[in-house]
Amino acid sequence: MKIAILGGTGNIGKGFALRWSYKHEVTIGSRDDEKAKASAAEYNEILKKYGSNDIIEGTDNKTAATNADVVFLAIRYENIPSVIDLITPILDKQIIVSVVVPIARDRCYIHPDSSTLKIDVSDEDYNANYFCYTTPKAGSAAQEIAMLLPQGTELVSAFHNVPAHTLAELDAELDYDIGVCGNSTHSKKIIFDLTRDIPYLRPLDVGPLETSGMVEALTPLVINIASRNKLKDLGIKFV
């Protein structure tokens, strides 16, 4: 399968590229073609150390998406409109996967049209450096993306709660659950299979795309718990 990871030069993109290159053709995309090529070269050097001859390609986001079967959006929330606008002309049966989480530091919003939530704290140092889920007006990043994509495009929301640095450590075992949201049984099955291609990850069906906000919102929760309690490699596991 041909996989494109837009925003593939970031931490989460690096992990995806390294893990899936063993079974699939992986291309990482970036707004900067040269940056993508440099990151791909870095990833290939890592693979060589593990005895792999698989090659990860690097190119601009539009080219990466053009030749893919599955396109992962591993991008910042604020870049959604520009990236979707860029790839829309070349979309043709690709499955789009959103890994996007709207997240804000040291402030919480109900949605962009609301006022900032006021929190009365007595110890400013202790209560600084936290993250909150910034709920989009559409309900979630995935639902916002769905509104921008051409009608009929299959969209799945998944992989929001995997620790990026652990994902990129090929020696690490990833004993986590992956919540998968989407309206198409066909596309969800493909993402389930891709999840299982990474050892010890377990895909779980959360429901339709409308449930994505619940899964996205777990990301800042996990980050805050890990940071404040000095926990490493924290993720989600249902037992």
Say if residues 216 and 141 touch (Cβ distance below 8 Å).
yes
Domains along the sequence of the chain with CATH: 2-101+139-211 (3.40.50.720)
Cα pseudo-dihedral 20, 14, 8, 93, rounded to 10: 20
pTM for this entry:
0.91
71-101 pLDDT per residue, tens:
999 999 999 999 999 999 999 999 999 999 9
Q: Burial, 199: exposed, middle or buried (Cβ in 10 Å; 0-12, 13-18, 19+)? A: exposed
pLDDT value at residue 108:
62
Query: How far is Cα 37 from Cα 237, in angstroms, rounded to an integer?
Result: 35
CB 156 within 8 A of CB 188: yes
pLDDT at residue 117, rounded to an integer? 43
Residue 149 confidence (pLDDT)? 98
Strand partners, 80: none
What pLDDT is attached to residue 128?
A: 60
Task: Quick: pLDDT tens for 182-191.
Answer: 999 999 999 9
Closest among 88, 237, 233, 99 to 169, alpha carbons compared: 233
Taking the C-alpha atoms of residue 174 and residue 102, their distance in angstroms, rounded to an integer, is 24
Per run of 10 residues, the mean pLDDT along the chain (length 239 residues) is 96 96 97 97 96 94 97 97 98 97 75 44 56 94 98 97 94 96 97 97 98 97 92 93
The pLDDT, as a whole number, for residue 129 is 75
User: Do 149 and 84 form a contact (C-beta atoms < 8 A)?
Assistant: yes
